[in-house]
Structure 1
């Protein structure tokens, strides 16, 4: 079972690293609504993202920075799912 999880995680990380740079540069749903209604300048940042606009800071190559952000997001999602699974599985 552990091997399957590890293989799945490594596969997801490789896909995130290789496919993230090809993500659309167009704004997503909420960003698009703000832009369409001219509300971008009135919106306020509530939380600061460690990888704003899916680009990891400190890396000059934009495609590599986007890939690293994809890996970071994948690891974060896996970590949260793992934690929830452990908590619910122990009941």
Structure 2
């Protein structure tokens, strides 16, 4: 931003402010474009890294289902069951 000088007429002051405003807007838009370009670059790197990792990692094998485990009763439980049955 330029420093404001004591102008005698208002039109010169307005012209300088307009120039400053235009310069600030150009800088703002340039920063936005740079930020977007950096974001796209990082996104491309992430996608490339993820695809390379997916290609090198073997496919996950489905887990084998375990047979339903039957509960074996203990000798104490078996005696209790016999007493209840009789």
* TM-score, structure 1 normalization: 0.35
Which one has the largest radius of gyration?
2
RCO comparison, higher one (Cα < 8 Å, 6+) = 1
